[in-house]
Structure 1
Amino acid sequence: MMKIKEIKARQLIDCKCRPMIEVDVITEDGYIGRGSAPTGSSVGMYEAFVLRDNNPNEYKGLSVRKAVENINNVIAPALIGKNVIDQEKIDRIMIDLDGTELKTRLGGNAIYSVSIACMHAAAKRKGLELYEYIANGAITSVPVPSFNVINGGKYDNLVQPFNEFLIVPYKAKNIEEAVEMSVLVFQELEKVLTNYLGRKPNIASSYGYAAPSEDPEIILELIQSAIDNCGYKGKIAFALDCASSEMYDKATDTYQLKGKQISAIELVDYVEKLTTKFDFVFIEDLLDENDWKGFIYAIKTIDKALILGDDLIVTNKDKLMYAHQNHAVHGFILKPNQIGTITEALDTFDFAHNNGLLAIPSGRSGGVIGDICMDLAVGLHVPFIKNGAPRSGERIDKLNYLMRVADLSNPCPMSDISSLVKFNN
């Protein structure tokens, strides 16, 4: 037994200066586990609820004092004396305390912060790094990173419907080269975009460059130019996070693309043509989070890229089971705060692993230093992950983390994803 002695929560801020929760779980023998819940900018309607105060006098309503109070006054008394190593029991107590499907009573951000703080404390008690604790064995590889370099969205002068344009250095010989290649391409891309725009590109809210065009093909050509200029042609592929729920019009059942409203079939057919011109490792959230028919059509139509669900699945085992039964995705984006506890997130991962589906860890736009998604990525031995742009401290921390783990683990190689790449088929 390693009993919990004390749980303390406080309000801090994330990388976007939005209030977030930080939790300390302290055991009777003095070990401290600390956890924070990141938040996303694109948030699916089925995600665990982020409880905020809606107090206009503090952070324009974004403060999390109520969630902090729920931890200190409701969750902590229920967990004091419990064995911190029994993660499933701890998480079940919190789920039952809340009693709602999306954790709206206590707050998904409250429950999740405590959940990961307990896991950190358990790993420290065993004298292990968290990724070692998760792996329950040796680390044999680190995942291939992918980098969000251009951000879409709604700007003053244009609307780029696809949320993230990513590069994937899948043919790098090791993680150090993968990071270097991507950093150099990101830096070269600024020059390419400056030449295209006649001015320096703006920086988007997720720290990539703001989209210079409404046409996805033009953006991909500009990124390809930066790749080619750096001498990495054939070594770096693309990926897309479309986040199409953001551009879906429910009233007309259409999606925005290049200033027009088009059907799901037209959108899938358009992206399929992109995959014949450019090498894509994966396409994420190609359609709305409720458009199951569209995802099924995409799987049947697009054979040169992996189709992944994020808002569609929200790290929910039941949703992933449904997607698997209906052949709607090749895998999902693993974001444990979407479901609200580590136990539920790992249950979803286990289902994916046992059924030949991919689970791809990702941070959130409102990121934190020491995000547990990196420990999950390494400890679960996933093939590749999603990274943000190579800019901003919490994003650089994730890159340094991968290089550090590779060096400390004998060193270990970067994953070989050649068997997963579909564009060579």
Structure 2
Amino acid sequence: MKIKQILARQLLDCKGRPMIEVDVITENGCIGRGSAPTGSSVGMYEAFVLRDQDDYEYHGMSVHKAISNIINIIAPQLIGMDVLDQKAIDYKMIQLDGTDNKRNLGGNAIYSVSIACMRAAAKVRKQEVYQYISQDHITQVPVPSFNVINGGKYDTFIQPFNEFIIMPYKAESIFEAVEMAVNTFQELEKVLTKYLGKKPTTAPSYGYAAPSEDPEVVFSLIQEAIDNCHYTEKMAFALDCASSEMYDKETNTYLLKGHRVTSDELLSYMKDLSEKFNFVFIEDLFDENDWPAFVKATKTLNRCMIIGDDLIVTNSDKLEYANTMGAVNGFILKPNQVGTLTEALATYDYAKKNHLIAVPSGRSGGVIGDIAMDFAVGLQVGFIKNGAPRSGERIDKLNYLMRICSLNPEIKLADLSHLIKFD
């Protein structure tokens, strides 16, 4: 089924930042629509997000150049191609761009077109996108995890760790998992209010602002909320350190509780913390170039999985290198990091063949109907990363999972028992 027309426009993501939306229209009238979300914590090796840098429009964040590249460069080359041949479409765009990080045409331009093509192809096949990705029988939906407290720079302190995450890993259904997360998140507001003497503020990623620079204090408060809800035996933690954000290259040190520490000191701290709390995974514990530290971590932290995000950026070559080094147990699957769905699927395929974990995730600057959720269900992964259980694009992801299970009662919540190291 040939591509007949490609349209593109500037809209807004969930943070009010300009983004591209693309329509791919086939000869028989099927329309696929795609948009590229953008993260707040962005790895240096991610596909380049092309913005106009025009201070007079959206403070330089507009994306008209990328849209022009779609209309004037990408579309003429893709029109007439078979929309069902995702690989050929994506590699044609990679060839047109000619750089290793899609700097010329814009990773946001290429990725939006890539999504739109896959969605059009699914409509041609009269399938849901997750069915089109799976090409097999769907038996499960992943266990969601929730970023309930956000780190960052606050008025009186810096909490260097980015995301404090809860995971209802022993929930018996997606409906129970979502309810557990919502109840815990609401109870956490009461716990934080008592601790702070005032209501907690909302952080940029929609979790609560970190109440302390001490990660142990933060997890203790979350644990109190979990215990108050009587979920102690069913809820575990995860942590996204995003350590590249707080890494100092000159001194080769990391920020922790207001002080600069070495990678060995940070690892020792995390070893102690993982003995006190049950972690399913720890993500980006070190800087994206600190490979030796990641290797040490996989050998030292035996009660959780070590996951790479900025370290891997959904790039199959980087994942292969990490696997050869023994640096990670898995990676965060964010297709826009690498820039096309074909490349993201190649990274997933490598992970699956080598018994590594793939964890689909949205981005901080998310969109309604994120294709990451189609990947999560279509690839039949065990668990995913969600944001806090509030704001439309985040609730949309939860509703998506619950809707699938409601329409297909035979589909179950994934069993994570084989992935849990602390039990």
TM-score range for the pair, normalised by the shorter chain length = over 0.9
1:251-274, Cα deviation, whole Å (9 max, x unpaired): 000000001000001101101111
Match of 2:270 in 1: 271
Amino acid at match of 1:331: G
Aligned partner of residue 288 in structure 1, secondary structure: coil
Aligned partner of residue 267 in structure 1, secondary structure: helix
In the TM superposition, what are the counterparts of 1:17-28 in structure 2 within 5 Å? 17-28=16-27
Match of 1:367 in 2: 366
1:109 partnered with 2:108: yes
In the TM superposition, what is the alpha-carbon distance from 1:234 to its structure 2 partner?
Answer: 1.4
Aligned partner of residue 248 in structure 1, secondary structure: coil
Match of 1:154 in 2: 153
Aligned partner of residue 161 in structure 2, secondary structure: strand
- In 1, Cα distance between the equivalents of 2:398 and 2:210? 24
- In 2, Cα distance between the equivalents of 1:255 and 1:361? 27
Runs of 4+ in 1 over 6 A off after TM superposition: none
- In 1, Cα distance between the equivalents of 2:294 and 2:136? 36
Match of 1:343 in 2: 342
Aligned partner of residue 311 in structure 1, secondary structure: coil
Aligned partner of residue 249 in structure 1, secondary structure: coil
**TM-score, scaled to structure 1:** 0.99
- In 2, Cα distance between the equivalents of 1:125 and 1:375? 17
In the TM superposition, what are the counterparts of 1:379-390 in structure 2 within 5 Å? 379-390=378-389
In the TM superposition, what is the alpha-carbon distance from 1:410 to its structure 2 partner?
Answer: 3.3
1:280-318, Cα deviation, whole Å (9 max, x unpaired): 000000000000001001011100010000000000000
Match of 2:71 in 1: 72
Aligned partner of residue 287 in structure 1, secondary structure: coil
1:246 partnered with 2:245: yes
Match of 1:90 in 2: 89
Amino acid at match of 1:42: S
Aligned partner of residue 60 in structure 1, secondary structure: helix
Match of 1:173 in 2: 172
Match of 2:229 in 1: 230
In the TM superposition, what is the alpha-carbon distance from 1:215 to its structure 2 partner?
Answer: 0.1
- In 1, Cα distance between the equivalents of 2:405 and 2:63? 37
Q: Do 1:152 and 1:159's aligned partners in 2 also have CA atoms closer than 8 Å? A: yes
In the TM superposition, what is the alpha-carbon distance from 1:411 to its structure 2 partner?
Answer: 3.2
Aligned partner of residue 385 in structure 2, secondary structure: coil
1:83-107, Cα deviation, whole Å (9 max, x unpaired): 0000000000000000000000000
In the TM superposition, what is the alpha-carbon distance from 1:173 to its structure 2 partner?
Answer: 0.7
Amino acid at match of 2:22: V
In the TM superposition, what is the alpha-carbon distance from 1:407 to its structure 2 partner?
Answer: 1.8
Aligned partner of residue 123 in structure 2, secondary structure: helix
Amino acid at match of 1:384: F
Aligned partner of residue 363 in structure 2, secondary structure: coil
The percentage of counterpart residues that share the same residue type is 69
Q: Do 1:140 and 1:409's aligned partners in 2 also have CA atoms closer than 8 Å? A: no
> For structure 1, which segment, 406-415 or 257-266, has the greater mean C-alpha deviation from structure 2 after superposition?
406-415
1:374-399, Cα deviation, whole Å (9 max, x unpaired): 00000000000000000100000000
Q: Do 1:193 and 1:212's aligned partners in 2 also have CA atoms closer than 8 Å? A: yes
- In 2, Cα distance between the equivalents of 1:385 and 1:68? 31
Number of equivalent positions: 423
Amino acid at match of 2:33: R
Match of 1:218 in 2: 217
- In 2, Cα distance between the equivalents of 1:363 and 1:309? 15
Amino acid at match of 2:56: N
- In 2, Cα distance between the equivalents of 1:166 and 1:380? 23
Match of 1:33 in 2: 32
1:99 partnered with 2:98: yes
Match of 2:261 in 1: 262
In the TM superposition, what is the alpha-carbon distance from 1:164 to its structure 2 partner?
Answer: 0.2
Unaligned 5+ runs, structure 2: none
- In 1, Cα distance between the equivalents of 2:331 and 2:181? 24
Match of 1:305 in 2: 304
1:192-233, Cα deviation, whole Å (9 max, x unpaired): 000000000010000000000000000000000000000111
- In 1, Cα distance between the equivalents of 2:213 and 2:321? 34
- In 1, Cα distance between the equivalents of 2:62 and 2:154? 27
Q: What is the root-mean-square deviation of aligned Cα atoms in Å?
A: 0.5
Aligned partner of residue 220 in structure 1, secondary structure: helix
**TM-score, scaled to structure 2:** 1.00
- In 1, Cα distance between the equivalents of 2:119 and 2:87? 14
Amino acid at match of 1:325: T
In the TM superposition, what is the alpha-carbon distance from 1:163 to its structure 2 partner?
Answer: 0.2
In the TM superposition, what is the alpha-carbon distance from 1:409 to its structure 2 partner?
Answer: 2.3
Aligned partner of residue 113 in structure 1, secondary structure: helix
Match of 1:287 in 2: 286
Q: Do 1:139 and 1:409's aligned partners in 2 also have CA atoms closer than 8 Å? A: no
- In 1, Cα distance between the equivalents of 2:92 and 2:46? 20
- In 2, Cα distance between the equivalents of 1:137 and 1:46? 33
Q: Do 1:309 and 1:329's aligned partners in 2 also have CA atoms closer than 8 Å? A: yes
Amino acid at match of 1:403: M
Match of 2:318 in 1: 319
In the TM superposition, what is the alpha-carbon distance from 1:335 to its structure 2 partner?
Answer: 0.2
- In 2, Cα distance between the equivalents of 1:285 and 1:408? 36
Q: Do 1:40 and 1:365's aligned partners in 2 also have CA atoms closer than 8 Å? A: yes
